[in-house]
Structure formats: C-alpha cells, structure tokens
Amino acid sequence: MKNKDLSFNQQCWQLLKKIPKGKVTTYKALANALNTKAYQAVGSAMAANPDLISVPCHRVINSDGRIGKFALGEAKKIELLRSEGIEIKDNKVVDLEHCFFDFS
C-alpha cells in the first residue's frame, strides 16, 4: 500500500488508524503492509506521531510481544492497551496471536 502523494510517516499513520481497539500489530507487520523492510523507519514514524488520540501508535509492539517504546512512556502504553482489553504480563502481550491485527 504505497501512495506517492503521502510521506512515509503519513502512510504509516494512515494504516495505523485501521487497527481496532483490542488489537495490536508489530513494527514489522506495519512495514510489510507498506511493502518495505524499513522496520526502524516505522518506529521513527510512531515516535513522530503528532496526534496520539486519532493515530493509535500504542497499538504497535515488537515482534516478540514486548511492549516497546511510547511517547508518553511505557507505563501509559500498558495502561492504554489494558484499557482496550489486551492482557499484559512482564511488559509483553500475553496472547499475541489472539489480538494480532494483520493488514492483509
């Protein structure tokens, strides 16, 4: 899903808006949906997110289920994910297969 009229960050944010509450995706899955292997660039796009309300970057986690970074801190990211029904234990999503959102 590449749109030459949008910046890479904007493309990431546009895709991110498709992830419903109670679901998460990974930096890798988001990059794959954009037909790139620029996983770190996806992380940079999340860090540059200007609107944490409408662009839910807290729903992007590491491939191994670890929570990862968040602009408002890891504790806030965990709080947001738990408020959406995602179970977290030891800073990892407990049942990643169940709550994983696939863009395909």
**Catalytic positions, written as ranges:** 57
- Judge contact between 62 and 68, C-beta under 8 A: yes
Decide if 87 contacts 94 (C-beta within 8 A): yes
Helices (H) then strands (E): counts for the chain: 5, 4
